[in-house]
Amino acid sequence: MRKKYIILVIIFITQCFYVNAQNVKITGDFRCGGWNDDFRQLRDLQWNMESLDLSEADCDSIRQNALHSRHKLKNIILPNKLKIIGQQALFACDGIENITLPESTERIESRAFGNCFGLKTIISSATTPPQIAEDAFSGIDVSKVKLIVPKGSEKAYKTSDVWKDFFSKKAGIVKEKHNGIFNIIPIPNKIRHTEGKELITSNLGQIIAPSSLANESQHLQEILDKRLRLKTKKKSKAKITLEIDKTIGNPESYTLCIDDSGIKITGADAAGVFYGIMTLDQILIPKNKNGQINTIPPTIIEDSPRTEIRELMLDPCRIFIPFEDLKGMVAEMARYKMNAMHLHLTDDQAWRIEIKKYPRLTEKGSFRVGMDDMQMPIEGFYTQEQMKELVAFAKNYHVEIIPEIEMPGHQVAAIHCYPELTCGGVQLPIRTTCGVSDNLLCPSNEFTYDFLENVFTELSSIFTSKYVHLGGDEAGNPPLECWSGCKSCQALLKEIMSDPNTKPQPGSRNDNWRLQKHMFDRVIGFLRSKLNKTPMFWYETDFHEIQPGCIVFAWRHGLTATAIDAAIRCNAKIMLCPGEHCYLDYPAASGDMPEVNWGMPITSLQQTYKLNPAWGYSKDFEKNNLCGVAGTLWSECINSTERLYYMAFPRALALSEAGWSQQSNRNYDDFVKRLKHISTDMHRRGICTGNQLK
């Protein structure tokens, strides 16, 4: 019986032993298939792996995403029996400099070596060039990578598609005449081709805009430079004019007019002008890798958003997201007219934002070892100066940064630093697993309110958004039970119940929800009266009463209608992020990352696209209560920035269309056609996306 052997290095970390391999060799049997197969364990559990030898492993394929974004991996020896290297199998393994393909290699699939920026040499032992996807090396210049092939096979490789690029100098620009099919995401309200001559793009160059649109002019110039290699000119045959006209529609609306005399982008505000520029950017995407749009047919586009907020929520608590990578996500989501980034800054697993009044929050609450079975050190926090920088950066992309501080649950990291926040002052370790903690902030302790008010006061000087998110979800299991054994909480509850205006709530499991309402009412009152902020929170059925003007998030599977009814009844607004459509941390297909480790359902690209923000309600609901849509990216299983992008895109594009475009214009088959064009551009730019389009 053949056996598998792994060479392991044991490292001592924070008084606990964790096994993680720097050098791994696997021989014999190799499990490939199932959520926790050998590739998943190599990729996610051996976080410190630098060298991997699979030469004697009984394995004929490196499956899709097998070693996705393992930045520490420097050396890999592929299986001797290897036939197939799957999609994104070694995506962003940018520490690898040399790869040897075994003689048996038959096929290399899409983005298998994408963003492997460290690659210097590829040795192919196959006498016949393996089949290779056009974008197998997306994001890197293969003309700078040395390809060594068997003697006598040089001609076959030099004449084979993709392989020949290794021998070519940088290809010249290919002029493309626009075919009149506009692959724009999200799809605009109206696109109308008009009579007249085509615009010759080489005639462009002069930008005419008021000083108030200097930021938008800068974005436009960067697009002209990257797409058309055009620099700003004082004079040109065709001009690009940017202007604001508040009469053309609601905020963020724009018109884009193209003819042989130039391009005119008119926005209802600066954001509208910016979105017109983003639409133009998509029009200028060439079909070919070295293509460049030479002509554009005369066209008029009229466009405006369906919902006020189109949001992505990022979670740096479970696994930290480096500061600069937040900027990259802001720039990418803005391309598709998403206008809010919601940062989940606190949870049981970490506290990620500097609070000067409470330094222990980041001194003690921003480091731990482990996220479920991934026993790696996870650390980091954002300084206040960094967040101010992010807010200013995002403003240039018309993206709002919305902070979230959880209450009363999901606060174990804060309680770890300041035990007096919870009932009885219980000493708690930082949580290293997913799930729900029963330890909550104490609503009967004045320190809790001093703490929250001081935290929100500091945040108000950092985040200019009018919104602040208060969490409110999953407060214990069973919910709110933490307070039942607290004498001071029960005394407070008795006092609340003695108020003659207190109304009974049929169907409640107990009256602890009134303590949560007491906490939220106090904090909401402070946010409104002192900081001029609009509160947001995750809707739970324990919220029997919602203060008018608040914004609730419908997130739980099967409870969206319940949340909408509550918002309408309480004259509140609602964001739709139902798990059935909007949980982008869920796998997009069976066997896809994160390969399902704790029962996550599948949220396919089509399922995300199916979201209709109206949810079957009347136009009055859309007008009076609907605020927008949000995609959530909880990070329990997202352990690299590339994985973050992989889970977000392309599903975030489907969500952006749900939030921006009118329902009558939306069609999934048409969206997929447009998405193929947009995705190709994303891959060329080195953006990591999921494998939903094969």
Distance of CA 146 to the CA centre of its chain: 34
Quickly name the fold that domain 10-167 has.
3.80.10
Of 277, 153, 296, the closest CA to residue 213 belongs to 277
Q: What is the chain's alpha carbon radius of gyration, rounded to the nearest angstrom?
A: 27
Parts of the chain belonging to CATH 3.20.20.80? 309-684
Residue 404 contacts residue 312 (beta carbons within 8 Å): no
Helix (H) or strand (E) holding 405: strand 400-407
Task: Give mean pLDDT, residues 613-631.
Answer: 97
Residue 509, pLDDT above cutoff 90: no
Is 58 among the residues known to form the active site? no
Of 18-32, 436-450, 532-546, 561-575, least confident by mean pLDDT is 18-32
Residue 661 contacts residue 189 (beta carbons within 8 Å): yes
Show the tokens assigned to 6: 């792994």
Residue 406, pLDDT above cutoff 70: yes
Is 342 among the residues known to form the active site? no
Q: Exactly one of 165, 347, 406, 642 is catalytic; which is it?
A: 347
Note the pLDDT of residue 10: 32
Residue 69, pLDDT above cutoff 80: yes
pLDDT tens sequence across 111-129: 999 999 999 999 999 999 9
Mean of pLDDT over the chain: 94
Coil vs helix vs strand at 168:
coil
Between residues 269 and 232, which one has the greater pLDDT?
Answer: 269
Parts of the chain belonging to CATH 3.30.379.10? 174-303
Quickly name the fold that domain 174-303 has.
Chitobiase; domain 2 (3.30.379)
Q: Exactly one of 474, 481, 580, 622 is catalytic; which is it?
A: 474
What residue type is 413 in one-letter code?
A
Write the CA distances from 80 to 3, 52, 62, 125, 178, integer angstroms. Answer: 17, 13, 12, 11, 47
Task: Give mean pLDDT, residues 521-526.
Answer: 97
State the chain's maximal CA–CA distance in angstroms: 94
DSSP designation for 28: B
Of 360, 332, 326, the closest CA to residue 344 belongs to 326
- The percentage of residues in the chain with a pLDDT greater than 70, rounded to a whole number, is 97
What residue type is 146 in one-letter code?
K
Parts of the chain belonging to CATH 3.80.10.10? 10-167
Task: Give mean pLDDT, residues 607-612.
Answer: 98
Residue 4, pLDDT above cutoff 60: no
pLDDT tens sequence across 215-228: 999 999 999 999 99
Residue 291, pLDDT above cutoff 50: yes
Q: How many Cβ atoms sit within 10 Å of the Cβ of residue 329?
A: 23
Alpha helices in 498-559 (DSSP H): 513-531
Task: Give mean pLDDT, residues 289-308.
Answer: 96
Residue 17, pLDDT above cutoff 60: no
Between residues 660 and 544, which one has the greater pLDDT?
Answer: 660
Residue 350 contacts residue 317 (beta carbons within 8 Å): yes
Residue 46 contacts residue 66 (beta carbons within 8 Å): no
pLDDT tens sequence across 245-263: 999 999 999 999 999 999 9
* Residues pairing with 382 in the sheet: 353
Between residues 170 and 499, which one has the greater pLDDT?
Answer: 499
Is 198 among the residues known to form the active site? no
Residue 642, pLDDT above cutoff 70: yes
Task: Give mean pLDDT, residues 45-57.
Answer: 95
Show the tokens assigned to 500: 């003659």
Residue 135, pLDDT above cutoff 60: yes
Q: Exactly one of 410, 416, 469, 581 is catalytic; which is it?
A: 410
Residue 504, pLDDT above cutoff 70: yes
Write the CA distances from 16 to 13, 369, 370, 513, integer angstroms. Answer: 6, 9, 11, 40
What residue has token string 């200028």?
A: 284
pLDDT tens sequence across 140-174: 999 999 999 999 999 999 999 899 999 987 678 88
DSSP designation for 458: H
Alpha helices in 10-153 (DSSP H): 38-40
Pairing assessment for the beta strands 23-25 and 51-53 based on DSSP bridges: parallel
DSSP symbols for 96-132: --EEEE-TT--EE-TTTTTT-TT--EEEE--SSPPEE
Coil vs helix vs strand at 473:
coil
pLDDT tens sequence across 445-468: 999 999 999 999 999 999 999 999
Write the CA distances from 150 to 125, 127, 157, 298, integer angstroms. Answer: 6, 6, 10, 52
Of 417, 441, 445, 443, the closest CA to residue 353 belongs to 417
Report d(CA 313, CA 654) in Å as an integer.
15
Residue 594, pLDDT above cutoff 70: yes
Pairing assessment for the beta strands 367-371 and 190-193 based on DSSP bridges: unpaired
Rounded to two decimals, the pTM is 0.95
What residue type is 476 in one-letter code?
G
What residue has token string 């890798």?
A: 289
What residue type is 270 in one-letter code?
A
Three-state DSSP string of 361-375: HHHCCCEEEEECCEE
Q: Is 236 exposed, middle or buried (0-12, 13-18, 19+ CB in 10 A)?
A: middle
Span 309-684: which CATH code?
A: 3.20.20.80
Task: Give mean pLDDT, residues 510-520.
Answer: 94
Note the pLDDT of residue 694: 53
